[in-house]
């Protein structure tokens, strides 16, 4: 089993927990509250800014154009495409997208963003890739499962969100998995352990992020 296959296996219970979180289940049932949708978009817009910066910091650690191009694709995806699922949530909630920009980060989004940025700034290339991997991987899993559950129903109010994440990122994720597997082959057991821990924490933070949106988590003081 490759390093990333091992990671995916270890994270299986977390992927399950995420899929069965009420945020995702109510999204599937078209009953998710307007407040949760708005809180999610406000926080995710800022989180994705941190992800762009994370990818940029990771790019500074690359040694080939091929590697740089893959991270560049990831940045372009956020800048040019990932506003579509946000627009879907805004349309359902009946609010304008631009109105939701400029929010300060709630505790879970703050922690997740800082973890990625700090790892990309001071960690190894493998650590930077590992901490940022749950982000696309978890969403691909959710998107595919939801797409199957709704049987591709275009009239589902969250069809744009579901079809976006269910389809678009797979080739790029597979390239990243191959890349991380190659890095792991050349790393010591200690370095692999650090990548593993960061990946698992990233998965936990994906759960926390949906939970934060669902409960509209804010700083209590």
Ligand X SMILES: Cc1ncc(CO)c(N)n1
User: Which is nearer to ligand X, 131 or 180 (by Cβ)?
Assistant: 131
- Give the CA angle between residues 120, 140, 29 to the nearest 5°: 125
Task: Kindly state the smallest distance separating residue 78's Cβ from ligand X, in Å.
Answer: 7
Instruction: Specify whether the CB–CB gap between 141 and 17 falls below 8 A.
Output: no
Q: Which residue is nearest to ligand X (CB)?
A: 135
Whole-angstrom distance, CA of residue 174 vs CA of residue 52: 19
Three-state secondary structure string covering 67-85: HHHHHHHHHHHHHHHCHHH
Q: How far, in Å, CA of 32 to CA of 190, rounded?
A: 42
Pairwise CA distance, residues 161 & 88, whole Å: 6
Between residues 180 and 208, which has the closer beta carbon with respect to ligand X? Answer: 208
Find the shortest distance in angstroms from Cβ 214 to ligand X.
Answer: 13
Classified as helix, coil or strand, 95 is coil
Q: How far is the CB of 120 from ligand X (least distance, A)?
A: 15
Nearer to ligand X, 132 or 184 (CB): 132
| Between 48 and 195, CB nearer to ligand X | 48
Specify whether the CB–CB gap between 113 and 50 falls below 8 A.
yes
Which is closer to ligand X, CB of 44 or CB of 127? 44
Least distance from C-beta 34 to ligand X, angstroms? 19
Rounded to a whole number of angstroms, the minimum distance from the CB of residue 135 to ligand X is 4
Binding site for ligand X (CB under 6 A): 44, 47-48, 135-136, 139, 206, 209
């Amino acid at each position: 089993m490759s390093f990333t296959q091992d990671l995916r296996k270890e994270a299986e219970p977390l992927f399950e927990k995420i899929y069965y979180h009420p945020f995702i289940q109510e999204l599937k049932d078209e009953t998710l509250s307007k407040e949760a949708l708005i809180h999610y978009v406000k926080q995710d817009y800022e989180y994705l800014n941190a992800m762009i910066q994370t990818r940029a910091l990771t790019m500074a650690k690359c040694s080939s154009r091929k590697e740089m191009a893959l991270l560049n694709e990831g940045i372009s995806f956020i800048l040019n495409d990932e506003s579509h699922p946000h627009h879907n949530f805004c349309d359902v909630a009946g609010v304008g997208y631009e109105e939701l920009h400029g929010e300060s980060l709630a505790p879970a989004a703050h922690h997740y963003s800082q973890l990625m940025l700090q790892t990309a700034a001071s960690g190894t290339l493998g650590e930077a890739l590992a901490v940022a991997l749950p982000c696309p991987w978890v969403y691909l899993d959710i998107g595919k499962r939801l797409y199957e559950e709704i049987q591709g129903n275009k009239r589902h109010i969250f069809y744009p969100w579901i079809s976006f994440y269910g389809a678009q990122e797979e080739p790029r994720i597979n390239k990243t998995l191959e890349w991380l597997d190659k890095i792991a082959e050349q790393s010591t057991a200690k370095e692999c352990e650090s990548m593993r821990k960061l990946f698992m924490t990233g998965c936990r933070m994906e759960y926390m992020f949906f939970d934060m949106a669902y409960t509209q988590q804010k700083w209590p003081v």
